[in-house]
């Protein structure tokens, strides 16, 4: 793919800054912590670092409640630290992508302070205010993603304001052109400082039904489900006019060279792909979370890969994600042994992969005692297993106290196995998961067919998934055993000859002729001969 953009060729790596590296011993990661670990990221082989929010915030939702879009929270550092990070990252040919949270602000943002001051305040319409229902209750039945109604009554004005998440996170009114202009200028502010792009938080939420109609009941809602599942979000998200808003954001991004717009979107594939926009004028990469929620079977994986590939608009570039700060870690979802095969799948599919910090060393969810819970969702709806703290625990760097993350008290507890499951230990282990990730990434870089070639399924029976990645220059076969039992004599297409480039055990180099055998939870990448 000769003319591929950097965001098409590269690999993204999400850093949750609170948990990556602390340099001032307050137990919370910071910008200098990211900077001092850049060489690790270069050695891993990634191309772009996506950083979760670093803006000033009361931290009701750990930075996703922004109080100033043009600042840096002191717990993470200052503009000097940010500029050093940008400079040193770019010197290493790493891109920096910021989280952009445009759907809502903190209730302490000056805009909202003004908006709630009075009904006739010039910024009243910057947020979503509605009169009560006839019975005095909320204007409609919309629910908050963090539990309870999505409307909070303001006694001073007698109206309700809308918040798709916490009460402390009022939603902006994106129908107001002044709001759009202000947020466009935020993007320009950060791009002028050298930021290479943005991951846009809950981008499918930006527009709401203009008539604020009730959402329909969810027929699948049942006991133990969170409040947000009571109703289908038919009118509160994914509105048709959101695409014109995203096109405007893309227009701002395109004012600068070589920038990327990524959208967080939890929608079925047929709706997800609409976020590429008309004539590909929307998000460059609408995040594809299908692997996060997929059943771990070869037929199901093959089905979703084919469905996604078929749904992409012409010229739309695919992407794949195994985990993030809101989802259970991949090693906990499918098991530690299977996570090696998952790594091979992620890094051999067509498109741009995004990794989550710590997945490369097999970090798992860390049990968090009730008294240690930090996540507001867990506090609002306790006992449902909704807390996101377990997947946000500190990065495990070495065998020193607190795994090299901090000399202070970490904001969340570390895993019990952090002394044995860490970067330093795995760098010394030839067959480690970290070693596998490094080799997979190097192989992907050496063989462009692995990111840009066509995808063709060969086998998806039971526990075995086999597919080809093909280009005019080369052909590579990927075979994945998803089972805990060996799979012998897997038939390959007639005339298939080649050599194993890499196995998940990093211990095979034999020739392949016509068939293949795989050990339990093993995957292999085979370079096929030209005659095959």
Q: How many residues does the chain have?
A: 532
| Alpha-carbon separation of residue 419 from 360, 364, 383, 398 (angstroms) | 16, 14, 30, 7
What letter does residue 203 receive in the DSSP assignment? G
Half-sphere exposure of 384 (CA within 13 A, CB side): 19
How do strand 129-130 and strand 159-162 relate by DSSP bridges? antiparallel
Catalytic residue among 185, 254, 255, 510: 255
Per DSSP, helices labelled H in 175-279 are 177-192, 242-253, 269-272
Q: Is 389 a catalytic residue?
A: no
Q: 306-312, long-range: CB within 8 Å, 24+ apart, which pairs?
A: 306/457, 307/269, 308/269, 308/273, 309/350, 309/455, 311/269, 311/270, 311/272, 311/273, 312/273, 312/276
Catalytic residue among 201, 238, 264, 359: 201
* Torsion over CA: 325, 331, 332, 333 (sign): positive
* Pair of tokens at residue 159: 């109206």
Using an 8 Å Cβ cutoff, are 268 and 335 in contact? no
Q: Is 371 a catalytic residue?
A: no
* Torsion over CA: 35, 36, 37, 42 (sign): positive
Nearest of 338, 299, 306 to residue 322 by alpha carbon? 338
The C-alpha atoms of residue 528 and residue 532 are separated, in whole angstroms, by: 6
The C-alpha atoms of residue 394 and residue 409 are separated, in whole angstroms, by: 11
Cβ neighbourhood burial of 199 (10 Å; 0-12, 13-18, 19+):
buried
| Alpha-carbon separation of residue 209 from 14, 98, 140, 161, 212 (angstroms) | 32, 28, 11, 15, 5
As annotated, the active-site residues are: 201, 255
């Amino acid at each position: 793919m000769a003319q591929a953009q950097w965001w098409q060729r590269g690999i993204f790596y999400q850093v949750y800054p609170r948990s990556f590296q602390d340099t001032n011993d307050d137990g919370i990661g910071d910008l200098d912590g990211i900077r001092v670990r850049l060489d690790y990221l270069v050695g891993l082989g990634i191309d772009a670092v996506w950083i979760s929010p670093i803006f000033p915030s009361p931290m009701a939702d750990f930075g996703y409640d922004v109080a100033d879009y043009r600042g840096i929270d002191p717990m993470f550092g200052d503009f000097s630290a940010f500029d050093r990070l940008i400079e040193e990252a770019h010197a290493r040919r790493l891109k920096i992508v910021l989280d952009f949270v445009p759907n809502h602000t903190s209730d302490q943002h000056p805009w909202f302070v003004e908006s709630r001051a009075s009904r006739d305040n010039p910024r009243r319409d910057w947020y979503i205010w509605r009169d009560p229902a006839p019975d005095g209750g909320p204007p409609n039945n919309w629910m908050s993603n963090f539990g309870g109604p999505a409307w909070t009554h303001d006694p001073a004005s007698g109206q309700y304001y809308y918040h798709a998440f916490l009460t402390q996170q009022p939603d902006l009114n994106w129908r107001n052109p002044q709001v759009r202009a202000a947020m466009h200028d935020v993007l320009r502010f950060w791009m002028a400082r050298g930021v290479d792009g943005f991951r846009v938080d809950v981008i499918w939420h930006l527009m709401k039904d203009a008539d604020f109609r009730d959402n329909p009941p969810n027929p699948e809602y049942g006991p133990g489900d969170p409040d947000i599942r009571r109703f289908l979000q038919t009118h509160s998200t994914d509105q048709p006019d959101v695409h014109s808003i995203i096109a405007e954001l893309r227009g701002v991004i395109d004012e600068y060279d070589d920038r990327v717009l990524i959208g967080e979107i939890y929608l079925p594939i047929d709706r997800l792909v609409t976020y590429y926009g008309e004539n590909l004028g929307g998000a460059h990469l609408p995040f594809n979370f299908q692997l996060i929620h997929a059943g771990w079977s070869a037929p199901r994986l093959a089905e979703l890969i084919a469905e996604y590939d078929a749904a992409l608009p012409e010229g739309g570039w695919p992407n794949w994600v195994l985990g993030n700060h809101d989802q259970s870690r991949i090693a906990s979802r499918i098991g530690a042994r299977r996570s090696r095969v998952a790594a091979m799948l992620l890094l051999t599919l067509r498109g741009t992969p995004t990794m989550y910090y710590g997945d490369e060393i097999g970090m798992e969810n860390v049990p968090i005692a009730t008294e240690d819970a930090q996540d507001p969702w867990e506090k609002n709806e306790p006992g449902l297993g909704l807390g996101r703290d377990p997947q946000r625990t500190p990065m495990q760097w070495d065998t020193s106290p607190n795994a090299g993350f901090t000399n202070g008290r970490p904001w969340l507890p570390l895993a019990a196995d952090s002394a044995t499951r860490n970067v330093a230990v795995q760098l010394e282990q030839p067959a480690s998961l970290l070693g596998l990730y490094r080799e997979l990434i190097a192989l992907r870089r050496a063989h462009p067919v692995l990111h840009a070639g066509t995808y063709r399924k060969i086998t998806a029976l039971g526990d075995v998934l086999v597919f080809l990645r093909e280009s005019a220059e080369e052909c590579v076969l990927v075979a994945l055993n998803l089972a805990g039992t060996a799979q012998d004599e897997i038939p390959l297409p007639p005339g298939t000859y080649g050599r194993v480039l890499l196995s998940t055990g990093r211990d095979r180099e034999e020739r392949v002729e016509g068939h293949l055998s795989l050990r339990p939870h093993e995957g292999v990448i085979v370079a096929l001969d030209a005659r095959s």
